[in-house]
Amino acid sequence: MAGYPKGAQPQDFIKGWPHPELLSRAELRAALTESFHKGLEMSEETLNYGDKANGAYMLGHPRFLQGLAKFLEQQYQAPTDPKTLMSTIGASMGTDLCFRIYGKPGDICVFEEPTYFLAFTMARNSFLELKGVPIMEDGMDLDALDKVCTESEGKVKFVYTVPIHHNPTGYSMSNEKRVRLMQLAKKHKFLVIADEAYQLLNFGKTDMKPLFYHDDKEDPRVFSIGTFSKLIGPGTKVGWVQAHTSLLKPLTDIGFIDSGNNPVIFSSMNLLHFVESGALAKHIDAVSKDLGERCQLICRKLREVGLEVYEPKGGYFVWVKSKGKKTGKSGEATAIKKDKFHDYMRLCFCWLTREQIEEGIEYLRP
Amino acid sequence: MAGYPKGAQPQDFIKGWPHPELLSRAELRAALTESFHKGLEMSEETLNYGDKANGAYMLGHPRFLQGLAKFLEQQYQAPTDPKTLMSTIGASMGTDLCFRIYGKPGDICVFEEPTYFLAFTMARNSFLELKGVPIMEDGMDLDALDKVCTESEGKVKFVYTVPIHHNPTGYSMSNEKRVRLMQLAKKHKFLVIADEAYQLLNFGKTDMKPLFYHDDKEDPRVFSIGTFSKLIGPGTKVGWVQAHTSLLKPLTDIGFIDSGNNPVIFSSMNLLHFVESGALAKHIDAVSKDLGERCQLICRKLREVGLEVYEPKGGYFVWVKSKGKKTGKSGEATAIKKDKFHDYMRLCFCWLTREQIEEGIEYLRP
DSSP state of B332: G
Residues on chain B touching A241 (C-beta within 8 angstroms): none
Q: Do A255 and B125 touch (CB under 8 A)?
A: yes
Q: Is the ipTM above a cut-off of 0.85?
A: yes
Across the interface, whether the CB atoms of B121 and A236 are under 8 A apart is answered: no
pLDDT band at B366 (very low <50, low <70, confident <90, very high): confident
- Contact assignment for A96 to B255 by CB distance below 8 Å: yes
A191 DSSP β-pair partners: A158
Q: What is the pLDDT of residues A242-273, one digit of tens each?
A: 999 999 999 999 999 999 999 999 999 999 99
Amino acid present at A232: I
Residue of A nearest to B22 (CA): A44
Calculate the CA A195 to chain-centre distance: 5
* Cα A181 to the center of its chain, rounded Å: 19
Which of chain B's residues have a Cβ under 8 Å away from the Cβ of A269?
235
Chain A residues closer than 8 Å to B58 by CB: none
Instruction: Give all strands (DSSP E) within chain B, no chain letters.
Output: 50-51, 55-56, 85-88, 108-113, 129-136, 139-140, 156-161, 191-195, 222-227, 239-242, 317-321, 329-330, 344-348
Closest CB to B260 among A47, A232, A237: A237
Contacts of residue A11 in chain B, CB cutoff 8 Å?
A: none
Confidence (pLDDT) at B2: 47
* pLDDT tens figures, B221-230: 999 999 999 9
Q: What number of other Cβ atoms are within 10 A of residue A27's Cβ? A: 11
- Alpha-carbon distance B173 to B184, whole Å? 15
Residue A239, judged by CB atoms within 10 A of its CB (0-12, 13-18, 19+), counts as buried
Interatomic CA distance for residues B326 and A248, integer angstroms: 35
| Residue B3: per-residue pLDDT | 52
B116 vs A contacts (CB less than 8 Å): 259
**Percent of residues in chain A assigned helix, strand, coil, to nearest 5:** 40, 15, 40
| CA distance, residue A176 to nearest chain B CA (Å) | 30
Distance CA A243, CA A225 (A): 9
Cβ B347 vs Cβ B317: under 8 Å: yes
What CA–CA distance (Å, rounded) separates A55 from A61? 10
Query: Do the Cβ atoms of A234 and B260 come within 8 Å?
Result: yes
Q: Identify the burial level of A205 via C-beta atoms within 10 angstroms of its C-beta, where 0-12 means exposed, 13-18 middle and 19 or more buried.
A: exposed
pLDDT recorded at residue B295:
98
Neighbouring-strand partners of residue A130:
A109
Strands A222-227 and A239-242: antiparallel
User: What are the C-alpha distances in Å from A41 to residues A34, A38, A148, A283, B34?
Assistant: 11, 5, 53, 24, 13
Chain Cα centroid distance, residue A194: 8
* Higher-confidence position of A153 and B338: B338
Domains belonging to chain A, first-starting first, are 37-279 (3.40.640.10), 280-362 (3.90.1150.10)
Among chain A residues, CA nearest to B29: A40
For A69, phi then psi, to 5°, come to -60, -45
Q: Could you tell me how many CB contacts below 8 A there are between chain A and chain B?
A: 193
Q: Give the pLDDT band of residue B324 (cuts 50, 70, 90).
A: very high
Rounded to a whole number of angstroms, the distance from the CA of B206 to the nearest CA of chain A is 26
Among A226, A267, A322, which Cα is nearest to A61's? A267
What local confidence, expressed as pLDDT, does residue A4 receive?
59
Residues 6+ apart with CB under 8 A from B15: A49, B348, B351
* B177: Cβ contacts below 8 Å, ≥ 6 apart: B138, B139, B140, B142
Average pLDDT, chain B: 96
Taking 90 as the threshold, does the pLDDT of residue B6 lie above it? no
Q: From chain A, pick out residues whose CB is under 8 angstroms from the CB of B46.
A: 235
pLDDT score recorded for residue A2 = 47
| Whether the predicted pLDDT of B1 surpasses 70 | no
Taking CA–CA distances from B23, the nearest residue in chain A reads: A44
B252 interaction partners in chain A (CB closer than 8 Å): none
CA–CA min distance A348, chain B (Å): 14
Beta bridge partners of residue B319, listed in sequence order = B346
Mean pLDDT of B52-65: 95
- Residue-by-residue DSSP string for B99-167: HHHH--TT-EEEEEES--THHHHHHHHTT-EEEEEEEETTEE-HHHHHHHHHHTTT-EEEEEE--SS-T
CB contact under 8 A, B235 and A46: yes
Q: H or E stretch including A192?
A: strand A191-195
The predicted-structure confidence for B171-207, as pLDDT tens digits, reads as follows 999 999 999 999 999 999 999 999 999 999 999 999 8
Rg (CA), chain B: 21
pLDDT of residue A366: 83
- B361: amino acid identity, one letter: I
Nearest CA in chain B to A42: B24
Q: CA of B202, closest CA in chain A: separation in Å?
A: 20
Using a CB-CB cut-off of 8 Å, the residues of chain B touching A50 are: 17
Contacts 24+ apart (CB under 8 A), A124-132: A124/B255, A125/A96, A125/A99, A125/A100, A125/B100, A125/B254, A125/B255, A125/B256, A126/A96, A126/A99, A126/A100, A127/A103, A127/B105, A127/B127, A128/A99, A128/A103, A128/A157, A128/A158, A129/A155, A130/A336, A131/A156, A131/A336, A132/A335, A132/A336
CB contact under 8 A, A33 and B36: yes
Residue B153 pLDDT > 70: yes
Inter-residue contact B96 to A255 (CB < 8 Å): yes
| Local confidence band at B90 (pLDDT 50, 70, 90 cut-offs) | very high
Identify the bridge partners of residue A160 per DSSP, sorted by sequence position.
A111, A193
Q: B48–A23: do the CB atoms touch at under 8 Å?
A: yes
Map A117-137 to HEC letters.
CHHHHHHHHCCCEEEEEEEEC
Which residue of chain B is at minimal alpha-carbon distance from A60? B235
Which of these, B46, B44, B194, B172, lies nearest to B119 by C-alpha position? Answer: B194
Quick one: pLDDT at residue A5?
A: 61
A48 vs B18, B257, B260: nearest CB: B18
DSSP state of B236: G
Q: Which residues are within 8 A (CB) of A278 and not within 5 positions of it... i.e. 6 or more apart? A: none
Contact assignment for B93 to A24 by CB distance below 8 Å: no
Spell out the residues 6+ positions from residue B233 whose beta carbon is closer than 8 angstroms to its own: A43, A47, A48, A266, B18, B22, B23
The shortest CB-CB distance from A255 to any of B20, B118, B265 is to: B118
Nearest residue on chain A to B97, alpha-carbon basis: A256
In B, which residues are within 8 Å of A254 by CB distance? 121, 125
- 8-state DSSP, A202: B
Q: Please tell me the distance from the alpha carbon of residue A242 to that of residue A73, in angstroms, as a whole number.
A: 12
User: For residue A296, what pLDDT is reported?
Assistant: 98
Query: Are B258 and A118 in contact (CB < 8 Å)?
Result: yes
Say how many C-beta atoms besides its own lie within 10 A of residue A165's C-beta.
25
For chain A, which ranges sit under pLDDT 70? Answer: 1-6
Beta carbons of A267 and B237 less than 8 Å apart: yes
Task: Flag if A255 and B91 touch (Cβ within 8 Å).
Answer: no
Asked if A315 contacts A227 with a C-beta cutoff of 8 angstroms, the reply is: no
- Identify the CA nearest to A329 among candidates A4, A12, A18, A9: A12
Structural contact between residues A39 and A270, judged by C-beta atoms closer than 8 angstroms: yes
